[in-house]
Amino acid sequence: MKIAVVCLGNICRSPMAEVVLRDRLDGAGLDDVELVSAGTGGWHAGEKMDRRAAATLLEAGYDPERHRAQQWPVGDPETYDLVLAMDADNLADLAGQAPEGGLRMFRDLDPEGPGDVPDPYYGGAEGFREVLAMVERTSDAIVASVASARPGS
Protein backbone atom coordinates (compact mmCIF):
# COMPACT_ATOMS: atom_id res chain seq x y z
CA MET A 1 0.00 0.00 0.00
CA LYS A 2 1.13 3.54 -0.77
CA ILE A 3 -0.20 6.59 1.14
CA ALA A 4 0.49 10.33 0.75
CA VAL A 5 -0.42 13.05 3.25
CA VAL A 6 -0.65 16.51 1.67
CA CYS A 7 -0.96 20.06 3.04
CA LEU A 8 0.03 23.46 1.68
CA GLY A 9 3.79 23.84 2.26
CA ASN A 10 4.78 20.47 3.77
CA ILE A 11 6.40 22.01 6.83
CA CYS A 12 3.69 21.74 9.54
CA ARG A 13 0.61 19.53 9.24
CA SER A 14 1.53 16.89 6.68
CA PRO A 15 5.01 16.21 8.08
CA MET A 16 3.54 15.91 11.58
CA ALA A 17 1.01 13.44 10.17
CA GLU A 18 3.72 11.54 8.30
CA VAL A 19 5.87 11.14 11.43
CA VAL A 20 2.97 10.03 13.64
CA LEU A 21 1.35 7.79 11.04
CA ARG A 22 4.71 6.12 10.30
CA ASP A 23 5.16 5.49 14.02
CA ARG A 24 1.67 3.97 14.28
CA LEU A 25 2.04 1.86 11.12
CA ASP A 26 5.38 0.46 12.29
CA GLY A 27 3.95 -0.23 15.75
CA ALA A 28 1.13 -2.22 14.15
CA GLY A 29 3.55 -4.28 12.07
CA LEU A 30 2.58 -2.44 8.88
CA ASP A 31 6.08 -1.23 8.08
CA ASP A 32 5.65 -2.28 4.44
CA VAL A 33 3.19 0.57 3.84
CA GLU A 34 4.94 3.28 1.81
CA LEU A 35 4.21 6.72 3.25
CA VAL A 36 5.15 10.20 2.06
CA SER A 37 4.10 13.75 2.81
CA ALA A 38 4.10 16.68 0.41
CA GLY A 39 2.82 20.19 -0.11
CA THR A 40 0.70 21.57 -2.91
CA GLY A 41 3.19 24.45 -3.08
CA GLY A 42 6.91 24.01 -3.57
CA TRP A 43 8.37 27.10 -1.93
CA HIS A 44 9.68 25.12 1.09
CA ALA A 45 11.08 22.19 -0.93
CA GLY A 46 14.21 20.78 0.70
CA GLU A 47 13.64 22.53 4.03
CA LYS A 48 13.21 20.90 7.43
CA MET A 49 9.79 21.07 9.02
CA ASP A 50 8.76 24.18 10.93
CA ARG A 51 10.73 24.37 14.19
CA ARG A 52 7.51 24.58 16.23
CA ALA A 53 6.11 21.45 14.55
CA ALA A 54 9.39 19.65 15.18
CA ALA A 55 9.48 20.78 18.83
CA THR A 56 5.89 19.58 19.37
CA LEU A 57 6.73 16.17 17.91
CA LEU A 58 9.96 15.91 19.88
CA GLU A 59 8.19 16.83 23.12
CA ALA A 60 5.70 14.00 22.44
CA GLY A 61 8.48 11.46 21.84
CA TYR A 62 8.63 11.41 18.03
CA ASP A 63 11.67 11.94 15.79
CA PRO A 64 11.09 14.86 13.38
CA GLU A 65 14.64 15.09 12.01
CA ARG A 66 14.41 13.06 8.79
CA HIS A 67 11.73 15.19 7.15
CA ARG A 68 12.52 17.42 4.17
CA ALA A 69 9.70 19.28 2.43
CA GLN A 70 8.71 18.28 -1.08
CA GLN A 71 6.02 19.25 -3.55
CA TRP A 72 3.16 17.05 -4.74
CA PRO A 73 3.15 15.00 -6.84
CA VAL A 74 5.84 12.71 -5.49
CA GLY A 75 6.34 10.24 -8.32
CA ASP A 76 3.29 9.04 -10.25
CA PRO A 77 0.11 10.14 -8.44
CA GLU A 78 -1.78 7.15 -9.85
CA THR A 79 0.43 4.72 -7.90
CA TYR A 80 -0.98 5.91 -4.56
CA ASP A 81 -3.76 3.94 -2.96
CA LEU A 82 -4.69 6.81 -0.69
CA VAL A 83 -3.99 10.54 -0.83
CA LEU A 84 -5.05 12.36 2.33
CA ALA A 85 -5.60 16.13 2.17
CA MET A 86 -5.25 18.09 5.39
CA ASP A 87 -7.96 20.64 4.53
CA ALA A 88 -10.65 21.44 1.95
CA ASP A 89 -8.37 23.81 0.01
CA ASN A 90 -5.74 21.08 -0.29
CA LEU A 91 -8.46 18.65 -1.39
CA ALA A 92 -9.55 21.06 -4.15
CA ASP A 93 -5.92 21.58 -5.23
CA LEU A 94 -5.44 17.82 -5.50
CA ALA A 95 -8.55 17.18 -7.63
CA GLY A 96 -7.48 15.30 -10.72
CA GLN A 97 -4.00 14.65 -9.27
CA ALA A 98 -4.83 11.52 -7.30
CA PRO A 99 -6.13 8.06 -8.14
CA GLU A 100 -9.86 7.67 -8.76
CA GLY A 101 -11.52 7.11 -5.39
CA GLY A 102 -8.25 7.42 -3.50
CA LEU A 103 -8.44 11.11 -2.56
CA ARG A 104 -9.89 11.83 0.87
CA MET A 105 -9.64 14.24 3.75
CA PHE A 106 -7.17 13.18 6.45
CA ARG A 107 -9.80 13.53 9.16
CA ASP A 108 -12.44 11.44 7.37
CA LEU A 109 -11.63 8.70 9.92
CA ASP A 110 -11.23 11.00 12.93
CA PRO A 111 -13.31 9.50 15.77
CA GLU A 112 -14.25 13.05 16.81
CA GLY A 113 -15.61 13.82 13.36
CA PRO A 114 -14.43 14.90 9.93
CA GLY A 115 -13.16 18.34 9.01
CA ASP A 116 -10.04 20.32 8.29
CA VAL A 117 -6.79 19.99 10.17
CA PRO A 118 -6.25 23.69 10.94
CA ASP A 119 -3.00 25.27 9.78
CA PRO A 120 -1.05 26.22 12.93
CA TYR A 121 1.61 28.21 11.06
CA TYR A 122 0.45 31.70 12.05
CA GLY A 123 -0.47 30.78 15.62
CA GLY A 124 1.30 29.70 18.76
CA ALA A 125 2.34 26.44 20.37
CA GLU A 126 -1.23 25.51 21.33
CA GLY A 127 -2.18 25.23 17.65
CA PHE A 128 0.62 22.73 17.06
CA ARG A 129 -0.48 20.68 20.09
CA GLU A 130 -4.06 20.72 18.77
CA VAL A 131 -2.88 19.48 15.38
CA LEU A 132 -0.82 16.73 17.04
CA ALA A 133 -3.85 15.52 19.02
CA MET A 134 -5.96 15.38 15.82
CA VAL A 135 -3.18 13.61 13.94
CA GLU A 136 -2.61 11.02 16.69
CA ARG A 137 -6.24 9.95 17.08
CA THR A 138 -6.85 9.99 13.31
CA SER A 139 -3.64 8.05 12.63
CA ASP A 140 -4.83 5.34 15.02
CA ALA A 141 -8.07 5.08 13.04
CA ILE A 142 -6.24 5.07 9.70
CA VAL A 143 -3.96 2.26 10.88
CA ALA A 144 -6.95 0.23 12.08
CA SER A 145 -8.60 0.71 8.68
CA VAL A 146 -5.45 -0.27 6.77
CA ALA A 147 -4.95 -3.35 8.97
CA SER A 148 -8.56 -4.51 8.57
CA ALA A 149 -8.38 -4.12 4.78
CA ARG A 150 -5.48 -6.55 4.53
CA PRO A 151 -6.15 -10.09 3.34
CA GLY A 152 -6.57 -12.47 6.26
CA SER A 153 -7.66 -9.74 8.67
Taking only the tens place, the pLDDT of each residue in 42-69 is: 999 999 999 999 999 999 999 999 999 9
Catalytic residue chosen out of the listed positions 12, 13, 22, 50? 13
Q: 61-110 pLDDT, tens per residue?
A: 999 999 999 999 999 999 999 999 999 999 999 998 888 889 999 999 99
pTM value?
0.96
Catalytic residue chosen out of the listed positions 7, 24, 87, 140? 7
DSSP state of 70: -
From the list 15, 29, 10, 132, the residue with the least C-alpha distance to 72 is 10
Q: What is the DSSP string of 18-46?
A: HHHHHHHHHHTT-TTSEEEEEESS-TTTT
Catalytic residue chosen out of the listed positions 50, 87, 110, 119? 119
- Verify whether residue 7 is a known catalytic residue: yes
Q: What is the DSSP string of 78-138?
A: GG-SEEEESSHHHHHHHTTSS-TT-EEEGGGG-TT--------TTS-HHHHHHHHHHHHHH
